[in-house]
Amino acid sequence: MVVNLLGVGPREARRPENLTAEGGVAPLLATDPPDSCLTATTDAGSESEAAARRGVAAYYRQAVAAGPVRRLRPAQVGVPIADQGPWGVRTHRKERSPVPAPELPSISTLMNFDEASRIVVDFLKAHVPLGYWAVTRFDGERQLYLEVRDDVYGAGPGGSHPWSGSFCVRMVAGEGPRVAPDVSAVSAYADVPVGDQLDIGAYVGIPITYGDGTLFGTLCGLDPQSQADDFAAHEPLLHLLTNLLSMILASDLDRTEQARLRERAELAADTDVLTGLLNRRGWERALEAEEGRYRRFGDPAVVLLVDLDELKETNDTIGHAAGDVVIQSAALVISSCMRPYDYVARVGGDEFAVLATDTTVADARVIVERIREAFDAADLAASIGFAPFSIETGFVGTVAAADRAMYDEKRRRRAGNQGA
pLDDT tens per residue, range 99-157: 456 677 788 889 999 999 999 999 999 999 899 999 999 988 899 999 999 999 999 99
Look up the CATH number of the domain holding residue 297: 3.30.70.270
**Residue 328 CA, distance from chain mean position:** 44
Residue 362 makes CB contacts below 8 A (sequence gap 6+) with 141
One domain, residues 200 and 126: yes
Whether residues 79 and 131 fall in one domain: no
What's the pLDDT score for residue 140? 86
Residue 236 lies inside a defined structural domain of this protein: yes
Domain assignment present for residue 44? The answer is yes
Whether residue 274 sits in one domain with residue 196? no
Within a domain: residue 97?
A: no
Please indicate, yes or no, whether residues 355 and 381 belong to a single structural domain of this protein: yes
For residue 262, tell me if it sits in a domain.
no
81 plus 121 within the same structural domain: no
Total number of domains in the chain: 3
Give a yes or no: residue 136 inside a domain: yes
- Flag whether 258 is in a domain: no
Last-in-domain residue among 202, 221, 251: 251
Residues 128, 207 within the same domain: yes
pLDDT value of position 327:
92
> Residue 176 falls within a domain, yes or no?
yes
Q: Which amino acid is at 402?
A: A
Residue 256 lies in a domain: no
Enter the pTM of the model: 0.69
Residuewise pLDDT in 10s, the chain (420 residues): 333 333 333 334 334 444 444 433 333 333 444 443 333 333 444 454 444 445 444 444 444 454 443 333 333 334 444 444 443 334 344 444 454 566 777 888 899 999 999 999 999 999 998 999 999 999 888 999 999 999 999 999 999 999 999 999 999 999 999 999 999 999 999 999 988 889 999 999 999 999 999 999 999 999 999 999 999 999 999 999 999 999 999 999 999 999 999 998 888 889 999 999 999 999 999 999 999 899 999 999 999 999 998 777 777 678 778 888 889 999 999 999 999 999 999 999 899 999 999 999 999 999 999 999 999 999 999 999 999 999 989 999 999 999 999 999 989 887 776 554
Give the pLDDT of residue 15: 41
Same-domain status, 243 and 274: no
Out of 187, 221, 251, pick the residue that ends a domain: 251
Task: Return the bridge partners of 145, or none.
Answer: 136
| pLDDT tens for each residue of 144-176 | 999 999 999 999 999 999 999 999 999 999 999
Q: Do 247 and 272 reside in the same domain of the chain?
A: no
Radius of gyration over every alpha carbon of the chain, rounded to an integer in angstroms: 34
Tally Cβ neighbours within 10 Å of residue 132: 25
Q: In whole angstroms, what is the distance from residue 143 CA to residue 164 CA?
A: 9
What range defines the domain where residue 45 resides? 10-88
Helix axes 235-267 and 113-127, enclosed angle (nearest 10) = 160
Q: Is residue 380 located within the same domain as residue 287?
A: yes
Task: Answer whether 400's CB lies under 8 Å from 353's CB.
Answer: no
Same domain, 247 and 273: no
Quote the longest CA-to-CA distance of the chain.
117
> Can you tell me the distance from the alpha carbon of 238 to that of 315, in angstroms, rounded to the nearest whole number?
64
CATH number at residue 164: 3.30.450.40
Cα atoms in the 13 Å half-sphere on the side-chain side of 253:
14
One domain, residues 169 and 42: no
Domain check: are 166 and 203 in the same one?
yes
Domain-ending residue, one of 251, 276, 303 = 251
**How does 26-51 read in b/e, with b if 16+ C-beta sit within 10 Å?**
bbebeeebeeebbbeeeeeeeeeeee
